């Protein structure tokens, strides 16, 4: 083609009348279809159930499975509690420690699991024994809190029991020894399980927020009662019991001072912020123990209700632990904000936790009746026991 020649333009393609009608009809159909679809919302048949079960069905399944394990192990611990009523009668005041000791294992190591879950979500979890790492400081903080709270529980039991009308309990050194030795024996096992759960959750993609509180509570129930029972053999030994009590008090003070002066900021922050909350929780649980001690004869008469005590304590703590773990992870990750009126994400988690109470506490009643029947222990009846568990659990939650 010579220079200056213009490029020939292609003639526009003619569209037939039929084609134009089809296109116009299709456009109108699409527009009408969009208009019709806008106001119509088609809900999945399981949408409402999915909403009740929480953000996802997988999380609900993980939580319910872990809570079922917790109920089973806590009920087994209740059978042990009902079987050692002779020791409880021989050592008045020991039963006062039981709710506080069980609750404290769940409080300390449930919080540890929650903090580890947050590090997993943030991608900063590393399984290492170095004390200057996040995991190392959390483990040391749990050890310090275990010793300090165990001493505090022994002292508070001796002080509060007479105030609420429970006289003639064992001495303060005996209570400190039982509390400290039982706590240390149980905490070794619970700590190993907590770290193992965090490691496995990282490898398998589990949400530690959904499983840590129930499973840690389950392990705590199983090991705490036998640990307290073993520690009770140290009661009343002339030279040894006071020596262990004094060493425990000195150790608690020294551990707190070391955490303060260690220069490990996260360690001291955890200890400083956790102690007041744990002391208040211990105070409440000791009062609960005093109430149970006052009704010991009634519990012996209907041992199935005594079997139910650890299960209900564990379930309420585990469900609360699931909720607090979910909320704390979302707060740290910026998904929700702390407000007087909870945001939608927080409200869903609250509804999720409350929904768990019905199947879990019904299961507790069924298991308590089943275990009591299997071991020939007295029971008020299946329906009454389930009602006791469900009503008490709903109120507690």
Name the token pair of 201. 């959750």
Compute the C-alpha angle 82/83/87, nearest 5°.
95
Nearest CA to 224 out of 366, 69, 376, 109 is that of 109
Look at residue 4 in the predicted model and tell me its pLDDT. Answer: 45
pTM for the model stands at: 0.74
Name the token pair of 275. 């102690």
Taking CB atoms within 8 Å and a gap of at least 24, the contacts of 161-165 are 161/93, 161/96, 161/286, 161/290, 161/293, 164/287, 164/290, 165/290, 165/294
Nearest CA to 269 out of 368, 145, 105 is that of 145
Name the token pair of 168. 């003639």
Look at residue 341 in the predicted model and tell me its pLDDT. Answer: 79
Question: Taking the CB of residue 215, how many other CB atoms lie within 10 A of it?
Answer: 24
The residue whose two tokens read 């009454």 is 384
Angle of helix 265-294 relative to helix 240-261, nearest 10 degrees, comes to 140
Chain centroid, CA 240 distance in Å: 36
What residue segments make up the domains of the chain, in order of their start? 55-396
Nearest CA to 241 out of 158, 177, 179, 185 is that of 177
Sequential pLDDT tens for the chain (397 residues) = 444 444 445 444 454 444 444 444 444 444 434 433 444 334 444 444 454 444 456 667 777 888 888 889 889 989 998 888 888 888 998 999 998 998 898 889 988 887 888 787 777 777 676 788 888 899 999 999 999 999 999 999 999 999 988 888 999 999 999 999 999 999 999 999 888 888 887 777 777 777 777 788 778 878 998 999 999 999 989 889 999 999 999 999 999 999 999 888 889 999 999 999 999 999 999 998 998 898 888 888 889 999 998 888 888 888 887 787 778 778 877 778 777 777 777 888 888 888 888 899 999 999 999 999 999 999 999 999 999 999 988 888 7
DSSP secondary structure code for residue 233 in this structure? G
């Amino acid at each position: 083609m010579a220079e200056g020649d213009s490029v020939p333009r292609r003639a526009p393609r003619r569209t037939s009348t039929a084609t134009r009608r089809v296109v116009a009809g299709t456009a109108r159909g699409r527009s009408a279809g969009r208009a019709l679809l806008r106001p119509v919302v088609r809900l999945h048949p399981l949408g409402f159930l999915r909403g009740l079960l929480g953000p996802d069905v997988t999380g609900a399944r993980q939580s319910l499975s872990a809570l079922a394990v917790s109920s089973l192990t806590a009920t087994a611990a209740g059978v042990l509690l009902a079987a050692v009523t002779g020791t409880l009668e021989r050592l008045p005041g020991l039963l006062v420690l039981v709710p506080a000791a069980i609750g404290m294992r769940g409080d300390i190591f449930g919080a540890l699991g929650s903090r580890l879950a947050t590090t997993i979500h943030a991608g900063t979890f590393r399984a290492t024994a170095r004390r200057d790492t996040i995991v190392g400081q959390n483990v040391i903080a749990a050890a310090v809190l275990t010793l300090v709270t165990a001493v505090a529980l022994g002292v508070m039991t001796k002080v509060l029991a007479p105030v609420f009308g429970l006289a003639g309990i064992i001495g303060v050194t005996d209570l400190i020894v039982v509390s400290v030795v039982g706590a240390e024996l149980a905490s070794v096992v619970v700590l190993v399980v907590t770290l193992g759960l965090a490691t496995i959750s990282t490898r398998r993609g589990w949400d530690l927020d959904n499983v840590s509180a129930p499973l840690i509570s389950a392990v705590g129930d199983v090991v705490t009662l036998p640990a307290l029972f073993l520690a009770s053999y140290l009661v009343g030994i002339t030279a040894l019991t006071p020596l262990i009590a004094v060493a425990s008090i000195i150790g608690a003070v020294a551990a707190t001072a070391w955490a303060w002066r260690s220069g490990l900021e996260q360690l001291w922050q955890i200890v400083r912020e956790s102690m007041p909350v744990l002391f208040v929780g211990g105070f409440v649980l000791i009062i609960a123990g005093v109430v149970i001690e006052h009704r010991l004869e009634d519990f012996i008469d209907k041992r199935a209700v005594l079997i139910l005590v650890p299960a209900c304590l564990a379930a309420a703590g585990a469900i609360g632990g699931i909720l607090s773990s979910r909320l704390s992870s979302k707060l740290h990750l910026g998904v929700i904000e702390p407000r007087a009126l909870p945001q939608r994400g927080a409200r869903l988690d609250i509804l999720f936790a409350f929904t768990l109470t019905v199947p879990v506490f019904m299961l507790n009643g069924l298991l308590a009746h089943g275990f009591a029947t299997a071991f020939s222990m007295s029971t008020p009846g299946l329906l009454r026991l389930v009602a006791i568990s469900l009503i008490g659990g709903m109120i507690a939650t």
